[in-house]
Structure 1
Amino acid sequence: MVRVTTPGIRLLPNAITVLALCAGLSAVQFALSGNYPMAIAAIGIAAVLDSLDGRIARLLDATSKMGAELDSLSDGISFGVAPALVLYVWHSGGDRVGWVASLIFAVCMILRLARFNTLLDDTEQPPYASEFFVGVPAPAGGLLAMLPLILAEQFGEGWWSSQYVAWIWTIAIAALLISRIPTLSLKTVRAPAKAIAPLLVGVGLLAAAIIQFPLVALAIALVLYLAHIPYSVYRHRWLAEHPEAWAVPPRERRAIRRARGQRRLGLRPPLRRRVAGAAMRAVRLPRNGEQHVARGPRPVSGSGPSSLDTKDRGNDRGPRRRSWRRIGLRQRGK
């Protein structure tokens, strides 16, 4: 069946991209007027809109070459040029070091977006490459660069609002943008059915926190994003070393990691459902109040079985069966 997309539907994702561009540029205007909370909010809105336009385009089958180019240009301005100018205006006064740091950040953002576009056409990447970004993505980088400003607006002046601390931080985030450090991509995250209800509750709590304490919630989210990078690097390396886990879902990957960890520590996997008949005959399962005793060969007597042997045989179908059930085993079929 051929899907027919109307011109109005094809226009919607591009319209969202243009709105993100306008929001990013508006942050510069808010900074020039001294309204820094609104400048932060404008870049945050641009990040939200940027995460929506591509998804909506794929859902509506309205992707186009023009939309991809427009999205890259919008990201370069909203998360590269706009944050750099906001930070420069925040520490204005014609400081040359500040202007150099702003230029470095904007240039690194453009280079990061150019590399992202070239990787889209790379067909030699491993299957797990779609689960990661190469370097910090553009929206996260634009917001991370403004973390000193966010802390200054929430907690007042401090060491985090120092001019040189802010510029060193800006250059450090610029280095993360063009680095080869893998970061997790939320586009490939799939929530299990059992986790939908808790996730919805978490979304509600997050919305309440953003409404009541917007700057604090944003600062915590940015710190948590930085804290996830070591785990992302570990996960990327583990997948690179285990090709057998490339085509399996995350739950089975966890099982592979646990199994390899047990073998590395010299542990045996737990017994499941049945025990081999030879092992069952060789080891007598303990009764209440008894210790584990290995059953050796029975003594040979010409007068017949002893009273102890007769007692053991009489109790075979009673306490031993309950012992099997108590530890989760089934009696071997006869």
Structure 2
Amino acid sequence: MVNSDERRFEVLRAIVADYVATQEPVGSKALVDRHNLGVSSATVRNDMAALEEEGFIVQPHTSAGRVPTDKGYRMFVDRLHEIKPLTPAERRAIGTFLEGALDLDDVMRRSVRLLAQLTQQVAVVQYPTLTRSTVRHVEVVTITPARLMLVLITNTGRVDQRVVDLGEVITDDDVSRLRNVLNSAMTEKRLAEASAAVAELPDEAPAELRHVLTRVCSVLIESLVEHPEERMVLGGTPNLTRHSADFPNSLRQVLEALEEQVVVLKLLAAARDSQTVTVRIGVENEAEEMRTTSVISTGYGSDGMVLGGMGVVGPTRMDYPGTMAAVRAVAAYVGEILVGR
């Protein structure tokens, strides 16, 4: 026999499902007609009254049905026993779409577009954080005999190019020696460690390379130091306008908040684990202007190393199981692609 708490949760789950699907307040008769709850209309009404008293649902206006509150959505999400998996066809489509990316920028653009399409919400993807990256390779390209291009490539596919004016002519042999010295000092090191190693190179260099190496290393250190701003990609903002009824007085402030990079990066602050999908509902969001939204986020990476975060922003009335599944799946593919590059 189902106890009263379990039965009331089934009523709450049915209210959430119907309200997400119809955007209409849900009445007891509709619940009995649409769901096999196994109890009478009178019992459903009593359960709804108890849920309302406890703050899980609310009546938006007299003679209306009930809608879930933030507290109700939270209980619904917390009681999800597992995130429903995507179908094999959906997984194949994600993999095919993302594997066609040409470089890191393309991976980010494709990821945010795909996530927005899958969830019909606003998608946010953070570029890999530099402090968590390692140096894969440094290429030194001769532009003129007295000018070089340095190309720094990280393990996440991030590419930084800098031009160095040497003030003197350098031979092809010395360019090759310079390339070997730099790669020996930097390859496979975290960026902070690589910066420290580069700083010591001029003192250890042969006299004939010392002046050139000093110029090159000063430019490289600028590339290796953590950028003060994080980069991210935002997509699917028009999806919010399709849910404008969910933001009767706050759509403009939500849109303005999404334009503030600092606010959006804070939304991903909880995404420090690629194994966990975090859900922040309504008032749980730190930024006041985002308290009519829900944010679903996770980290992406591999082998215990989180490179960045991604997630979606939408109204509190959203398909939580489906959105959580999409966020987790896209994050897993992005992590595999970047770590495997």
Structure 2 length-normalised TM: 0.22
Higher strand share goes to which structure?
A: 2
Structure 1 length-normalised TM: 0.22
Structure with higher Rg: it is: 1
